[in-house]
Structure formats: structure tokens, C-alpha cells
Amino acid sequence: MEYRRLGQTGLEISTIGLGTNNFGGRIDFEATKKVLHQTMEEGINFLDCANTYGAGKSEEFIGQVLGKEHRHEMIIATKVGAGAMGGPPPGPNQKGATRHHIMTEVEKSLKRLDTDYIDLYYMHRWDADTPIEETMRALDDLVHSGKVRYIGCSNYTAWQMVEAFWTAKSQNLYNYCCVQPEYSLVIRDVEKELVPAAEKYGMSLIPFFPLASGFLTGKYTQGEEPPEGTRFAGSPNMGNKYFNDDNWSLLGKLQSFAGERGHSVSELAFAWLLGSPVVPSVIAGATKPEQVTANAQAAGWQLSSEEMAEIREML
């Protein structure tokens, strides 16, 4: 496993990170335990979580599996700000980027994770109703207190990220070291503004949904219903986002490109993202140990500059 620096920090994270949205939802504690043990076995040290994943069960399961024995081996990222997932709509002050909500939720996350610090704390979403200085000061206080070590943002646009960056810089506050958007071979909106902004400000970009929620795994066939048990079978609206003629055409080209080199499109998806200078790690979920192994092995394929150029032509 290769490790790269996170933004302008000295922290090293594995090029493949484990997304834990499935924990406590699609898989139970015993299955989660197997996935996490395989994650450590593969040398993956970067876990991506949120206070809302599995309605809190994801953080809880991670805390139970790692305990004090393995906590120091892992870099745990979790998020705040999205409110309650899978439950009733959150009430007043139960979501967003206010000091009140951040300070309340960090204590809950620390307790569930069974730890006294969070390595990387993300704002899950931009909050238009809260002054960004309030948010950045609250996060700065958490870093000074030792409860949080680094901070980042998720689902921010380029202007939102830059607004937060300059607010923190002007007030001499701890700043975001990374941004986490959806980014893959078929969803590339971030290349227009967010990628250049991350490069300009020395921030890492950490993609989620690198396999386009499974579209790039080869599980799906054009004109056929999604197989039972797959993500799109349970969420048809999500499938509509990816199932279009342009994407099916691109998938065929990518399959030929990867197949000629003895690789799968899944491996190509990881290798292409990791070919970007602003991407230190790619977040991928798993429900089985063998999926963790496959994701870890995918990081071993390094595309040449000529291959990157060829893919860019396809895109």
C-alpha cells in the first residue's frame, strides 16, 4: 500500500480509503468486523465515516472493532452537519454548521468511536444559514482543544471552499486541508473549478463514489434491470443519474482500454483518479473482505502519461 500526504499537512494516508456508509445499514456488526480486519490487513489506514452513517452505528461499530488496541494504527475521518440520516427530519439546531451543532455532535462522535480525538473532521455540507466565520472558529477551537487534529470540507463548491479558506486565513484560524466531492470517470464536474482551486490553495481532493456508485464495476448491462441486491436495484433514482447513452458508450471504451492491459474498469477508475496530483486517496466502500482486497490491489496500477492522455481523449 502506498501512502501520500494529506494537503499541506504532514499526515500520510493510504491511497485507498475505506468508506463506511454501509456499516450499520447494509451490513451488521459481524460483517463490519470482517471488513475492518481485512482493511488493516491490506495496509489501508484511512477510514471515512460520518455521524449520520447507519444512524450513528457506523461510528459505533468502528469504535468497538478498533478499540484501544488498533486506534493508533488508523486515521479516522468523520463528518458533521448533515443532520439525521434515515430518521425523521432534524429539529431546530440539529443540523448545519453552527457552533452549537458542531460542539454537540463532536462529543457524540467521540463517544461512539470510543476515542478522545478525531484525526480529520469534515463539514459534511455548506450551510448557507450560518456565517462561515462561526463555523471556522468552532472547528479551530476543536483543533486547539485536541479533540480534532485536522479539518476538511465535503460537498463544497469551489467558491464555498475558497470563501472558507480566506475567512480562516484572514482570522488566523486552522484551515481546511482537503475537500471531498463526488468524482469519477463519469462524474467530472469538479474538474471545471474545484480541482484548479484545490491545486491553487494546496488542498487535497479526496473523491467519493469513484466507481460511480457501482456503474463502473461491470455489474450492470445496458437495457437490463439492475441485478437484485445491487445499489441501483434498491435506489432506482440513483441509477437514473448514471444510466445514459453517453456513459454506456464511455463504459465500452474503458472496458476495451482496461482489458487490453489485463485490468478491470474498476482498477482503471482508481488508477485514473490517483493519477491526479491533487488526489492522495480515493474513498471506496465495501461490504465484504474480498472487496477490500480488490480495492487495495487496484491502487497498484500506475498509468503512464501516455495512457492518461489516451483516457482524456475518450472523456
CA atoms of 217 and 19, how far apart (whole Å): 16
Query: Do 81 and 104 contact (CB within 8 A), yes or no?
Result: no
What are 194's three cell numbers? 474545484
Closest by Cα among 28, 20, 23, 32 to 75: 20
CA atoms of 311 and 257, how far apart (whole Å): 8
CA atoms of 5 and 161, how far apart (whole Å): 20
103, with CB counted inside 10 A (0-12, 13-18, 19+), is middle
How many Cα neighbours within 13 Å face the side chain of 73? 17
Active site (annotated) includes residue 117: no
CA atoms of 164 and 133, how far apart (whole Å): 8
235 three-state secondary structure: coil
Residue type, 50: A
Q: List alpha helices for 114-262, DSSP H.
A: 132-145, 158-170, 194-201, 231-234, 236-242, 245-260
Q: Which listed residue (53, 150, 174, 242) is catalytic?
A: 53
For the chain, the helix, strand and coil percentages under 3-state DSSP, each to the nearest 5: 50, 15, 35
* DSSP H or E stretch at residue 293: helix 289-298
* Catalytic machinery residues: 53
